[in-house]
A and B are shown apart, each in its own frame.
Chain A
Amino acid sequence: MPIIKKPSRLVTRRSALKGLAVGTGAVAAAGTLPGFVRYSQAQSSEPIRIGFQVHRTGIGAAYGRWYDRTTQAATKAINDAGGINGRPVEIIAEDDGTDPKRGAEVVEKFASQHNCDLAFGTLFSHVVFGSAPRAGELKIPYFVVSEGHHVASGKLNRYTLQPGITDVKSQVQAMAPFVSDNLGKKVTMIYPDFAFGHDHRDYFSAALEQQGGEVIAKIAIPPTESSFTKYFPKIPRDTEVIYHVMVGPAVLTFVKEMGEFYGPNKPEIFGFIDSLEAVDMASPGLEFLEGSYFWEGNPRYAQKDQSTYDKDYRAAVGVDDNGASVSDPKDVSTYSHMFGCWETLYTIKDGMEAAGYKGPEDRTKLIEAVESITDIPHSAEHPQGAKIFNGKTHQVFGHQYISKVKDGKLELAHTTSIEDTLYDDEVDYTTQPF
């Protein structure tokens, strides 16, 4: 059960109110077992409507499919345990086409057409950027699962939060100590030539310098590129470590061609799993990755010391021990990102219960309640690991995993501390008016 520091005025107001549902909300918030609240005890069993902005089409579609499955599984788990404040949760999904204009329209649709209590979902940062201003204007809480640095950078607004997944800045900087201590000091970075890639370039270069290492070459690849071999000669010969991160449909080509180029005499390779998210590690041409390292948001392969939380989460979503769908072993999940949907929904649940959320008029109370969350322990609700939420920057911080490829599988080699991922606040959203 997550620990929630409630602002005291919430309690005062709530204790002054009459009504069973409100009372149970307060009890739950005070730390009673989850599942205590049942539909029958609720004042109203109108479902809580959560608008789910999902990449069904466009370049984000492979992520969208697994975000969808995880969201459905989490919703089922929450509803089986009694819903939120005794009310069932209903997911209203709309495709954003991985397009910022459509994303904004979808948020509008949630707020004023579907009468959703809040909006949730989506991965690609440009969709978040396009949608967040509308969420702020419509005053609908917008919980994103995007791993972009947009929320914590202060570029968005008080209605946008990212409590379920860490952002790229903390992921990247947490990798620098491991890379420089274990793999090498001279690093060549290969990244896509757009904002997400530039974040990697800037934050990793800075963090590596602090560790006494150096990025000796930065190779930006245009987003529409479909063949990569011609870029590999740009990798300097004295490179000790190649750091790669690619996204989009051409990722497998990239890794395969890198293998062809180097053959057995390769430098150390460190990649973000984004380069192979939703791709089978057993795909032809990936053998050369043996012995290389990957950042993982959440270990795709069930580890020897797998927690019971991960085991239950895996079963609930329908993912096997290799990170693929239980019904189709070729359908590989986006395991390093999709846990964010599961965890965000539970954070919404905690926030709503702490705020005694009854309807859209309580949206600001919900945001205040989430802002006051700090420690999030490793639990069934948060199977990826313990986290710290920063209410001022609306961003969560957590452990990062580094896995080594052994026998074609990813084996956990190192877990970073949460402290490795922290950085100075760049914004204080709590000072902004609603």
Chain B
Amino acid sequence: MDLGPYLLLASLEGAVAAAVLALTAVGLSLVFGVMRVVNVAHGEFFMLGAVLAWWFASLVAGHPAFGFVLALICAPLIAAVIAAAADYFVLKRLNYDPEATIVATIGLLYIIQQTVLMTYGPDARPVEAPFNARIYLPWFGYSTYKFFVIGAAIVLLIGVWIMLTKTRIGLVLRASQLDSEMALAFGIKVDQVYAMVFGLGAGLAAMAAVLVVPIQQAHYLMGGDPLLLSFIVVIIGGLGSIAGTVVAAILIGMSDGIISVFFSPTLAKIIATLLVAFVLIFRPTGLFGKRSI
């Protein structure tokens, strides 16, 4: 294929990857920004979203869109409730000590993953897209659903942004992020805020998964890659900086598509991981962040 259409396709694919990644990574970034917790189980909430999407879709007969809409509403809610419970029963009791919470979330990762294995099983299962028309360009065909994924992610991200900057909830979140003791002194129930943020982070990951599952499939080991990529994005973007996270997601998502045009894909992945390591070593605030970790 000629380079032009090739790059067009790589950009389209990159945009889909970036959209899903941005949603997932914003969840991780939010949790880190407000709670200073590195949630290693974040990828499992993503996986939980996909598996729940399959479950909801299989409950509803008729047009696949019904099941999809149901999943888009309910799967993130369930993931959020589970995450909030984990915060209440585990993380809170560790006083959000950074190292202890990492270890605890590693434990959480295995608990979620293995519980899904016991109930849902080891299969990869497809979920039908709500619509699936293909458009045919002169060089290749492309699924219209993928455009929907990009659009939906943009809408959701704008929603998160409005919530953080224009609403009272956002104000409370930002207050807790800046100074949790002061927020407490002003009568903000920091406990509840933390549980909510942890739930919100997990919910965003789950929502990203619901969007992507008609393209991929739900599988109990699918959380690993989104976790690693989200880490990369959050660090490059600057920990806790939501805008930086989104920019980095676009950067990483697009470059993943385009780098693989020129390099062996395995080599591309090595370059990406080393890049993260060196960004952290030589610019610990990330490319766009203000605070180091």
Chain A residues with a Cβ under 8 A of chain B = 56-59, 61-62, 64-65, 193, 220-222, 224-227, 229-235, 237, 249-253, 260-263, 278, 283-285
Sample of 18 more A-B contacts, CB < 8 Å, known A249-B222, A260-B134? A59-B221, A65-B122, A193-B265, A220-B264, A220-B266, A224-B224, A225-B265, A226-B222, A229-B13, A231-B265, A249-B124, A250-B217, A250-B219, A252-B217, A253-B215, A253-B217, A261-B142, A263-B136
What per-residue 1/0 map shows which CB atoms of B253-293 lie under 8 Å from chain A?
Answer: 00001001100111001000000000000000000000000
Are the C-beta atoms of A62 and B140 separated by less than 8 Å? no
Are the C-beta atoms of B6 and A252 separated by less than 8 Å? no
Are the C-beta atoms of B141 and A262 separated by less than 8 Å? yes
Asked whether any CB of chain A lies closer than 8 Å to the CB of B98, the reply is: no
Q: Considering the chains assembled together, what is the distance between the CA atoms of A240 and B260 in angstroms?
A: 24
Count of A-B contacts judged by CB separation below 8 Å: 95
Are the C-beta atoms of B261 and A230 separated by less than 8 Å? yes
In the complex, what residues of B have CB within 8 A of residue A278's CB?
123
In the complex, what residues of A have CB within 8 A of residue B215's CB?
227, 253
Are the C-beta atoms of B266 and A252 separated by less than 8 Å? no
Q: Considering the chains assembled together, what is the distance between the CA atoms of A253 and B142 in angstroms?
A: 14
Check A62/B122 contact, CB under 8 A, given A229-B9, A230-B13: yes
In the complex, what residues of B have CB within 8 A of residue A252's CB?
124, 126, 217
Asked whether any CB of chain A lies closer than 8 Å to the CB of B77, the reply is: no
A317 to chain B, nearest CB (A): 18
Asked whether any CB of chain A lies closer than 8 Å to the CB of B10, the reply is: yes
In the complex, what residues of A have CB within 8 A of residue B224's CB?
224
22 contacts between A and B (CB under 8 A): A62-B124, A220-B265, A226-B222, A227-B216, A230-B14, A230-B261, A232-B9, A233-B6, A233-B140, A235-B1, A250-B217, A251-B124, A253-B215, A253-B217, A260-B134, A261-B140, A261-B142, A263-B141, A284-B129, A284-B132, A285-B126, A285-B132
In the complex, what residues of B have CB within 8 A of residue A225's CB?
265
A67 to chain B, nearest CB (A): 13
Q: Quick one: closest B residue to A332, CB to CB?
A: B123
Q: Is the interface of B mostly helix, strand, loop or mixed?
A: mixed
Q: Considering the chains assembled together, what is the distance between the CA atoms of A283 and B5 in angstroms?
A: 29
Asked whether any CB of chain A lies closer than 8 Å to the CB of B117, the reply is: yes
In the complex, what residues of B have CB within 8 A of residue A57's CB?
117, 122
B253 to chain A, nearest CB (A): 11
Are the C-beta atoms of B126 and A283 separated by less than 8 Å? yes
Are the C-beta atoms of B143 and A260 separated by less than 8 Å? yes
B14 to chain A, nearest CB (A): 8
In the complex, what residues of A have CB within 8 A of residue B260's CB?
230-231
Are the C-beta atoms of B128 and A227 separated by less than 8 Å? no
Asked whether any CB of chain A lies closer than 8 Å to the CB of B17, the reply is: yes
A229 to chain B, nearest CB (A): 5
Q: Considering the chains assembled together, what is the distance between the CA atoms of A64 and B5 in angstroms?
A: 42
In the complex, what residues of B have CB within 8 A of residue A253's CB?
215-217
- Please pick, from B129, B221, B257, the residue contacting A249 in the complex, using a CB distance under 8 A: B221
Q: Quick one: closest B residue to A236, CB to CB?
A: B1
Q: Considering the chains assembled together, what is the distance between the CA atoms of A249 and B260 in angstroms?
A: 21
Q: Quick one: closest A residue to B225, CB to CB?
A: A224
Q: Quick one: closest A residue to B16, CB to CB?
A: A227
In the complex, what residues of B have CB within 8 A of residue A61's CB?
121-123
Q: Quick one: closest A residue to B259, CB to CB?
A: A230
In the complex, what residues of A have CB within 8 A of residue B17's CB?
227
- A-B pairs, 7 with minimum CB distance: A61-B122, A249-B124, A263-B141, A249-B219, A233-B1, A233-B6, A230-B13
Are the C-beta atoms of B266 and A261 separated by less than 8 Å? no
Are the C-beta atoms of A222 and B122 separated by less than 8 Å? no
Q: Considering the chains assembled together, what is the distance between the CA atoms of A285 and B131 in angstroms?
A: 12
Q: Considering the chains assembled together, what is the distance between the CA atoms of A65 and B128 in angstroms?
A: 25
In the complex, what residues of A have CB within 8 A of residue B264's CB?
193, 220
Q: Considering the chains assembled together, what is the distance between the CA atoms of A237 and B143 in angstroms?
A: 21
- Please pick, from A226, A231, A283, the residue contacting B216 in the complex, using a CB distance under 8 A: A226
Q: Quick one: closest A residue to B11, CB to CB?
A: A230
Are the C-beta atoms of A284 and B126 separated by less than 8 Å? yes
Q: Considering the chains assembled together, what is the distance between the CA atoms of A222 and B260 in angstroms?
A: 11
A56 to chain B, nearest CB (A): 8
Are the C-beta atoms of B269 and A222 separated by less than 8 Å? yes
In the complex, what residues of B have CB within 8 A of residue A221's CB?
265
Are the C-beta atoms of A260 and B122 separated by less than 8 Å? no
B138 to chain A, nearest CB (A): 11
B269 to chain A, nearest CB (A): 6
Check A250/B265 contact, CB under 8 A, given A230-B13, A232-B140, A284-B132: no
Contacting residues of chain B (45-68) with chain A, CB-CB under 8 angstroms: none
Q: Considering the chains assembled together, what is the distance between the CA atoms of A284 and B6 in angstroms?
A: 26
In the complex, what residues of A have CB within 8 A of residue B126's CB?
252, 283-285
Residue from the set A61, A231, A250 with the largest chain B CB neighbour count within 10 Å: A61
Residue from the set A58, A59, A222, A253 with the largest chain B CB neighbour count within 10 Å: A222
Q: Quick one: closest B residue to A59, CB to CB?
A: B221
What per-residue 1/0 map shows which CB atoms of B120-161 lie under 8 Å from chain A?
Answer: 011110101100101010001111000000000000000000
